[in-house]
């Protein structure tokens, strides 16, 4: 083998070595050109797929006065991928906003919704939540779901 050349030459450790490494934020098709001692060129390619490990978990029930957990609502980061919960809002069945908070830390139950509106416990029932999530890779996601409040 006389020479090796990789395209694109960005996001790889070297463009002229046989075994480069890559750290890339996007999926990329890399092409390799190998020239032998006689000047013959062979070409091949490899598709490096970047799989985004974003995600969150949300409880589907909270019991506000429980002493054994599940007593508040927040979002939990999968793969440690969430930078911040930019906004979390909770609505009752009539569309009234009962909770809204900005810049929550994922998994921080102390800053989540405690099943109250003002200083009063809300009624047992289903509540809708909407969140704007910012991931560490810069992506944002609008997410929504529902949570049951029980006593």
Partner residues linked to 121 by β-bridges: 116
Residue pair 70/147 in contact by the 8 Å Cβ criterion: no
What integer pLDDT is reported at residue 126 of this predicted model?
A: 98
pLDDT (tens digit per residue) in 2-60 = 899 999 888 889 989 989 998 877 788 999 999 999 999 999 999 988 877 788 999 99
pLDDT at 141: 94
Q: Residue 40: what pLDDT?
A: 94
Q: Determine the pLDDT at residue 38.
A: 92
Question: CB–CB of 70/63 below 8 Å?
Answer: yes
User: Which tokens hold the place of 59?
Assistant: 């409880």
Going from N- to C-terminal start, the domains of the chain cover 3-48, 56-149
- CATH architecture of the domain with range 56-149: Sandwich (2.60)
**Polymer length of the chain:** 151
Distance separating the N- and C-terminal Cα atoms of the chain = 73
148 pLDDT band (50/70/90 cuts)?
very high
In whole angstroms, give the CA distance from residue 32 to residue 41: 10
Closest to 106 (Cα-Cα) out of 75, 135, 69:
75
- Res 75: pLDDT: 97
The per-residue pLDDT for 54 is: 82
- Give the model confidence (pLDDT) of 67-123 as tens digits: 888 899 999 998 888 999 999 999 999 999 999 999 999 999 999 999 999 999 999
């Amino acid at each position: 083998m006389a020479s090796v050349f990789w395209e694109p030459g960005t996001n790889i450790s070297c463009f002229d070595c046989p075994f480069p490494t890559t750290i890339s934020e996007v999926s990329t098709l890399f092409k390799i050109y190998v020239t032998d001692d006689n000047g013959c060129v062979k070409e091949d390619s490899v598709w490096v797929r970047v799989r985004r490990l974003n995600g969150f978990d949300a409880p589907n029930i909270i019991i506000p006065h429980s002493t054994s957990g599940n007593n508040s609502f927040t979002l939990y980061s999968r793969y440690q991928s969430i930078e911040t919960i930019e906004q979390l809002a909770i609505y009752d069945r009539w569309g009234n906003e009962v909770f809204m908070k900005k810049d929550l830390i994922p998994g921080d139950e102390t800053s989540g919704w405690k099943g109250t509106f003002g200083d009063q416990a809300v009624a047992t029932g289903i509540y809708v939540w909407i969140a704007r999530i910012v991931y560490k890779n810069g992506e944002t996601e609008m997410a929504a779901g529902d949570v049951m409040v029980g006593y």
